[in-house]
Structure 1
């Protein structure tokens, strides 16, 4: 780590007033702390070797952090950079406490001990889980839905003739691992086969179903009226039927809204059905099927301001939250179940439950973009994964009217989307802006800096910790939208005493450098300000007033 990076980290820690999810700070005046990197070192020469020895001897698997000593604000600071372990080495734990008691996960700015289930899930994720291939005792061909089986076998023989065209029904089902052999040699259904094609899988696994609850308030039940929920549905049966019945319940509880598209408007569902379908399928197909999770159902919760789909079991394999939706990034916990459902049609249609492997998240995102809605929020935990859809259209009539009221000319469509996200209470950083607007990193940086210059957003933090929020004057209030000040008079007033650089003008007016630069461009275009040299990109370039006065300018008295 460079000294500049350390200074940036400390500055952002001070701004936030707490540790970060990936940065923890500890004092070390009395010696090496047992749980985090150290500041204020009592023995700078010895402590790095002590820390390296502790990571190698006390932690399993042994860690090899990058350790350095930095001079920072008249003290010595030890910085240990610890790369995240790959999935096949997790969990990492304290040898003295053991795996079950010494495994922790970072939550916010603190640590939480992993539960026994979470530890077992991490261990299972070291390889390819096979719970979907496990035999279900006491089942057989009679437990499968005949209509689904016929459609499944027809698609198999058509799409994969080399492997299935010449096989009878039972051998074909065994090759597809819908049917497997149990320990006693009997042919039974697999867990995945029963979930995909069973007539009623919940006879054997009562909680492997889905619950949908529509709550009346953003906090759940309405304590004032005593209303616990608006609607409550239990979706059972095989996965294709669960998806169909849940979509019917969602459609029943959704409203329609008007969305602005160019010069016209179109009516659409509150949430795009394609996005909901992909979220449901992902939750049902990629959920944890290990014995410890079979008592937990997939949950769909609708609130006035959002809709959440949650399943047991976090992301599997090398996929991270940041990679979701990227082309070519895919990993399946239940590979056999997924393969079966690629040839099982949704009831009443010809499309398979899992039509295109690895494209579900992209389909979800594209559907939301087409509906001019914010992208979903993904939350990955060791034991759960959830996707939350905000209930608002980014560029609905009210938002378009608000953007128009700002009186800002030349805003790009992506800048309008960014402002709409912030107006709805969302947050933006460079990566979120790129994801939401589909612009590249260079354009995102330029457009965000332009929004700062226009005083539409303000920035907190720097570099990779930079966050953007709506300028206080533009936040929704009972009095309506506050208009931002015209900065011409302030710039001209600061130049009244003679030439000044952009940096000097920023200090004199209290405006940001970006805002000063923007208004200088405007004033130069209007012929009110001129430079003393041609290179306007140089912050040291000096500016002066011309003899022309702006309309209403009384800065000369």
Structure 2
């Protein structure tokens, strides 16, 4: 009973072990059975530990904090949180209509572009009990004020990230238009070949990087960023390459 109490008091959240004494080779052996906790994060004497192979090692502060965030990620998801002090007046109705037309054309979404705005947002999961979520403002906001809805674009001289910049722009807009404006920045800062084809009046043009691939990379960076981080998505153009960076990381415990 004393051992049970010590184990119970030393762990947080509390764990209820099953303890029994069994004779093995003529000796009394104490067997402690502990079922897997529904809470995967359990502290021992106020400190976090983890299993590495057959060893038990103490978790570092950063790793423990990441584990806590991973545990509560559904509650902490930025896009699902209510955006306070906002209303339907903050939503760009034309952008919503444009989205519904595109979604119907490419995905078969059966919502009329003339449907009631509040009904549309509720159907898309962008409002809760009549209140707008952060995702609603990120996607369709007239003037989103989140730092997460910004993309920083820089054109460096040469192949190193040093000043002075040849071109610089911080883009703030809804998620849909962010990608288009960032692509415009890239296209005006990369080389383009132009030539005349014999027998044709119109000239041929070709960028050194495929615009479709650049736009897709920017879209992925914006959509899959960590929205709990205050850092901006960055598009960095050098003489010989382009970097597209976003804040985020692999799920807790994953490595590359």
Distance in structure 2 (CA, Å) of the matches to 1:251 and 1:119: 40
Counterpart of 2:127 (choices 158, 179, 189) is 179
The aligned counterpart of 1:344 is none
Is contact 2:236-2:243 (8 Å) kept? yes
Trace 1:21-420 onto structure 2 (pairs within 5 A). Answer: 60-65=49-54, 94-95=57-58, 100=61, 103=63, 116=65, 118=66, 120-124=68-72, 130-155=77-102, 159-161=108-110, 164=111, 168-181=116-129, 187-202=130-145, 205-221=146-162, 228-257=164-193, 268-290=206-228, 293=229, 295-316=230-251
TM-score (norm 1): 0.32
Change in Cα spacing, 1:190 to 1:230, as seen in structure 2 (3 Å) is: same
The aligned counterpart of 2:4 is none
| Deviation (angstroms), 1:62 | 2.5
Trace 1:431-470 onto structure 2 (pairs within 5 A). Answer: none
Change in Cα spacing, 1:312 to 1:214, as seen in structure 2 (3 Å) is: same
5+ residue gaps, structure 2: 1-43, 195-203
Distance in structure 2 (CA, Å) of the matches to 1:148 and 1:194: 11
Is contact 1:138-1:188 (8 Å) kept? no
Change in Cα spacing, 1:156 to 1:267, as seen in structure 2 (3 Å) is: closer
Is contact 1:132-1:192 (8 Å) kept? yes
CA-atom RMSD in angstroms:
3.4
Change in Cα spacing, 1:156 to 1:214, as seen in structure 2 (3 Å) is: closer
Q: Secondary structure at the match of 1:287?
A: coil
Q: Which has the higher strand share?
A: 2
Aligned residues: 199
Distance in structure 2 (CA, Å) of the matches to 1:172 and 1:303: 42
TM-score (norm 2): 0.65
Change in Cα spacing, 1:317 to 1:236, as seen in structure 2 (3 Å) is: same
Distance in structure 2 (CA, Å) of the matches to 1:170 and 1:157: 18
Change in Cα spacing, 1:129 to 1:310, as seen in structure 2 (3 Å) is: same
Is contact 1:208-1:296 (8 Å) kept? no
